[in-house]
Amino acid sequence: MERGIFLYGKEHLTVGKALAICAGEIAGDLSAETRAKVVKSQQTVEEIVAKGKAVYGINTGFGPLCTTLISEEKTRLLQENILKSHSVGVGESVPDDISKLMLILKMNSLAQGYSGIAETTLDRIKWHIDNDIIPVVPSQGSVGASGDLAPLSHLFLPLIGLGEVMENGKKYDTLSVLQKHGLAPLELGPKEGLALINGTQFILAYAVKVVDRLHNCLDHADLIGAMMVEALLGSSKPFRPELHELRPFRGNQHVAARMTALLSDSEVMTSHANCSRVQDPYSLRCIPQVHGASRNAWLHLKELVEIELNSVTDNPVILDADLTISGGNFHGQPLAMALDYACLAASEIGNISDRRIYLSLEGTVDNVPKLLMKETGINSGFMIPQYTTAALASENKGLCFPASADSIPTSLGQEDHVSMGSIGGRKAYRVIENVEKILGIELLCAAQALDFHRPLKSSKIIGEMHSLVRKQVTHATVDRVFALDIEKTINIVKEGALLSVVRQEENYSTLKTNHHELFEVY
């Protein structure tokens, strides 16, 4: 089956398309029109150099050295030196898919023809993407302004034959890989080094992954939350549309409609229709308000990310030979603040999930025994998995301090306000990893609790989800090494396995809401 084609710098890039290129499901390419724009922009830079007029980053030093004029014969050396001198990253390397996304996102920005990059340089970046020869990039060192200087410098060291790359899961010295493929290091032209390392692609790559993985968490939180509502004999009334029309936040309405659909035609729900309970605890009753608020935060990030995916974020911007603008499009603040918001939104999904787990252990619901096991005393039941979720939720709270609230001046004061968005991106990613674990444990507990209502049938979708879990994890009647079960249910969440049930045609149509398309990743 032939892959689709995405044209860098010409077509509209979305989170879904960026991830598809990264996964090799779509091939990225450059149109003849884009190539012509790129060549014209490079020629404009050459004209500026020939005129000898000082233009930042083309024939001057960088940062506080912006008034130091560089001779024409040394402008190329300047670009190589900037890659070397700015490659100061430390810490563990970022995941390969983050590094590859950085290449893709930088490619799309440079291809718009405002950066003075050479066509041959874009072709070499494309070669790295197409052949999955991915630069090794340290995770720490960016302050999220003047571009993600350190990580982007490491990302593009391979262009000049330096640094390391990953090929087929193994790390190699770049020069040896280039030689194996019959390629030589590039010689960068004026401004190219600066164009490569100025930009928000480190922050943006993490933001793309946050949009994707938080979306998966939000979907699973609704599904698992509905399973827990059913298992704990909660009421479906708080999900009625009449209530949410009176406070019409889109995220709230979307979640409430999904909860109603998930719980419809359930024998378990019908069995307690006339019970004496007046209202449920907030962790059940307020699922639309809490999950919905996190969805609204997710939507805010997605909208900003999509703008950034199609923006020019290096500096200076080359409009023509007479107009170059040294501005601040590289500043990460627009994404930094949204990533901090998304980090909090993810953490709250973990917080309320932990509360539902705790609730399921109390033994106050008909048929559902304390600690989710009939014979306790000699057995601790599901007491201790909640310790794990409490630890994870607490760790997340510590990670929620907004990175964008901090700024430490750099570059001898020339760069006197920075976004720290790179730190915010990494923190949000880590919080989401913890939330996936919390949701996996909630899924384990919800499935266990639901078993005690049999032979009553669940709603169709919840029944199918429960069956999927039971194919991997059996009901527990005595203590066992629950870590093995937890690993399986966490993988169900991480891999989006429950969504395979939802995406069956009949189920999918049932769960589509008025705001469905708004809250999807495309």
Quick: pLDDT tens for 88-112.
999 999 999 999 999 999 999 999 9
Give all domains of the chain, ordered by start, each with its CATH number. Answer: 5-198 (1.10.275.10), 207-520 (1.20.200.10)
Secondary structure E strands in 225-305: none
Instruction: Give the pLDDT of residue 64.
Output: 67
**Neighbour tally for 390: CB within 10 Å:** 15
Provide, rounded to the nearest whole percent, the portion of the chain with pLDDT above 90.
85
pLDDT tier for residue 66 given thresholds of 50, 70 and 90: low
Q: Which helix (DSSP H) or strand (DSSP E) does residue 139 occupy?
A: strand 138-140
Instruction: Give the pLDDT of residue 109.
Output: 98
Provide, rounded to the nearest whole percent, the portion of the chain with pLDDT above 70.
98
For residue 72, pLDDT over 90 is answered with no
Instruction: Give the pLDDT of residue 62.
Output: 66
Tokens (6 digits) for 156: 């593009």
For residue 1, pLDDT over 50 is answered with no
Average pLDDT of the chain? 94
Least-confidence region, from 353-362, 413-422, 445-454, 471-480: 413-422
For residue 239, pLDDT over 80 is answered with yes
Question: Can you tell me the mean pLDDT for 323-331?
Answer: 91
Catalytic residues: 56
CB 479 within 8 A of CB 380: yes
Positive or negative, the CA dihedral 269, 270, 271, 275 is positive
Question: Mind spelling out the 3-state secondary structure of 353-370?
Answer: HHHHHHHHHCCCCCCCCH
Instruction: Give the pLDDT of residue 478.
Output: 98
- CA atoms within a 13 Å half-sphere pointing along the CA-CB vector of 38: 24
Instruction: Give the pLDDT of residue 508.
Output: 83
Instruction: Give the pLDDT of residue 56.
Output: 72
Question: Can you tell me the mean pLDDT for 501-519?
Answer: 89
CB 158 within 8 A of CB 128: yes
Q: What is the pLDDT of residues 375-409, one digit of tens each?
A: 999 999 999 999 999 999 999 999 999 999 999 98
Q: What is the pLDDT of residues 173-185, one digit of tens each?
A: 999 999 999 999 9
* Count of helix runs (H) and strand runs (E) in the chain: 21, 9
pLDDT tier for residue 3 given thresholds of 50, 70 and 90: confident
Instruction: Give the pLDDT of residue 220.
Output: 98
For residue 448, pLDDT over 70 is answered with yes
Q: What is the pLDDT of residues 128-161, one digit of tens each?
A: 999 999 999 999 999 998 889 999 999 999 999 9
State how far the Cα of 224 lies from the Cα of 444, in Å rounded to an integer. 9
Tokens (6 digits) for 188: 């960068």
Question: Can you tell me the mean pLDDT for 492-512?
Answer: 90
Instruction: Give the pLDDT of residue 76.
Output: 79
